[in-house]
Amino acid sequence: MIASSKRSPLTYLVHATVLFLVVIWTIPTAGLFISSIRDKDQLSVSGWWTALSTSEQLIIARANDPKTQVQEGDLFVIRGNLLDGSSGDVTKFGSSSLEPEAFDAGAVADLRKGQTLQVMENGDYAFSSPTPWEGRSQRIFYTAEIPPRFTLDNYREVLSTEGLGKSFLNSLTVTIPATIIPILVAAFAAYALAWMRFPGRALLVAAVVGLLVVPLQMSLIPLLKSYNLIGEFFGVGSKTYVGIWLAHTGFGLPLAIYLLRNYIAGLPGEIIESARVDGASDFDIFRKIILPLSFPALASFAIFQFLWVWNDLLIAMVFLGNNEEHLVLTGQLRELLGSRGGNWEILTASAFITIIVPLCVFFSLQRYLVRGLLAGSVK
């Protein structure tokens, strides 16, 4: 008789919690993607959750130039179409900003001096006047029901921006060294704080923990002043790649040392002691034992550091500036938003363009992370 296996309620609770977290993280990402492929006019008047429903928009248009008027009997008529061949239905219209929805579609609106305006549901309009039309073309206010419209124009606008390729290379130039340097420094420091005996080690660990709570914004101005003084002393510019590499290294080191130190300190002490008995130096132990076993922690911090530096805008603006020679990708995309930052279609499309490289880094390091875990367990 085979006993039936039953899952405990805790298992169902864990699965439900994981599913809930996945949904919570997926919904905003899905909304961002849907917004990035929506028409910018529809995006400005309705949320992404209404992407599949018809949206109502109040639009202002100008009639054709008076030169296009034709005489029909005793009337001079200007004809055209408000929708320009696109799908949609006009529901109301008007000729004044005070009453933009004064008339239903198909009605004839009496203007001044015997002039009339008629707008049909399909967008066709006709301005009629007993005298020839002169001056500027007339304005038409109308409300239209526009069906869902999806387009890749937002991505084309972002990708066709001048200087985008240069800023992409600048971001890679900043991010790759700013990720590698703190990992190298933190790995040596973490090993020393975990397995080497020297006076003041506990104070150094406490100082590293204390630096975790210091806001980096507090150190930007003093650090920039120091850069300026050093640049003046040596006769070089202060806003260079070396400066921002050192800045990101300094800001990332406390977390890196803290994470790696805790991980390395948890490794079996018998392995280190056996290596010392066999005559291995601290550098040999670090290189041949600690680094291979610590690869999961190194890969994890590399993901965090890369994402932080790649998405950074504040530190890049402070230590590199806004010049085109050193402008990073986030700074270039910020310039596309305009002075008021209201171009949401640019913002959403830019988000998915900038996420491509971090995703590649994450999935590539995730594969090595699993490999490092397995290798560590075997060793």
Half-sphere exposure of 144 (CA within 13 A, CB side): 26
pLDDT higher than 90, residue 174:
yes
CA-to-CA distance for 230 and 326, rounded, in angstroms?
20
pLDDT-based confidence at 4, cuts 50/70/90?
Answer: very low
- Read off the pLDDT of each residue in 170-194 and give the average, rounded to a whole number: 92
Backbone angles phi, psi at 119, to 5 degrees: -120, 125
pLDDT-based confidence at 2, cuts 50/70/90?
Answer: very low
pLDDT-based confidence at 21, cuts 50/70/90?
Answer: very high
Sequence-separated (6 or more) residues with CB below 8 Å from residue 337: 343, 346, 347
pLDDT at 127: 92
pLDDT at 369: 63
**Which tens digit of pLDDT belongs to each residue from 56-113?**
888 888 888 888 899 888 899 999 998 876 778 899 999 888 888 889 999 999 888 8
pLDDT at 133: 87
Backbone angles phi, psi at 296, to 5 degrees: -60, -45
pLDDT at 331: 87
pLDDT at 185: 93
Q: Hey, is 61 helix, strand or coil?
A: strand
**Which tens digit of pLDDT belongs to each residue from 331-346?**
888 877 765 556 777 8
- CA dihedral defined by 36, 172, 255, 300, rounded to 10 degrees? 70
pLDDT at 17: 93
CA-to-CA distance for 251 and 159, rounded, in angstroms?
32
- Read off the pLDDT of each residue in 239-261 and give the average, rounded to a whole number: 89
- Would you call 378 exposed, middle or buried from its count of C-beta atoms within 10 A (0-12, 13-18, 19+)? exposed
Domain ranges across the chain? 9-50, 55-147, 156-377
The two tokens of residue 132 are 């020839």
β-pair type (75-81, 89-94): unpaired
Q: Which residue has the higher pLDDT, 239 or 180?
A: 180
CA-to-CA distance for 167 and 164, rounded, in angstroms?
5
**Proportion of the chain above pLDDT 90, given as a percent:** 19
Cβ–Cβ < 8 Å for 293, 351: no
Determine if the pTM surpasses 0.85: no
pLDDT-based confidence at 245, cuts 50/70/90?
Answer: very high
Sequence-separated (6 or more) residues with CB below 8 Å from residue 73: none
Containing 62, the helix (H) or strand (E) segment is strand 55-62
pLDDT at 8: 82
pLDDT higher than 60, residue 373:
no
CA-to-CA distance for 376 and 42, rounded, in angstroms?
53
Query: Mean pLDDT in the chain?
Result: 85
pLDDT-based confidence at 126, cuts 50/70/90?
Answer: very high
pLDDT higher than 50, residue 192:
yes
pLDDT higher than 50, residue 372:
no
pLDDT higher than 70, residue 379:
no
Q: What is the third-level CATH fold of 156-377? A: MetI-like fold (1.10.3720)
Q: Which residue has the higher pLDDT, 125 or 300?
A: 125
What residue type is 319 in one-letter code?
Answer: F
14-23, 36-45, 234-243, 316-325: segment of lowest average pLDDT? 234-243
pLDDT at 375: 44
The two tokens of residue 95 are 């000729």
pLDDT higher than 80, residue 3:
no
Cβ–Cβ < 8 Å for 323, 314: no
- CA dihedral defined by 207, 208, 214, 220, rounded to 10 degrees? 100
In whole angstroms, how far apart are CA 242 and each of 188, 319, 328?
Answer: 21, 10, 15
- Read off the pLDDT of each residue in 266-285 and give the average, rounded to a whole number: 87
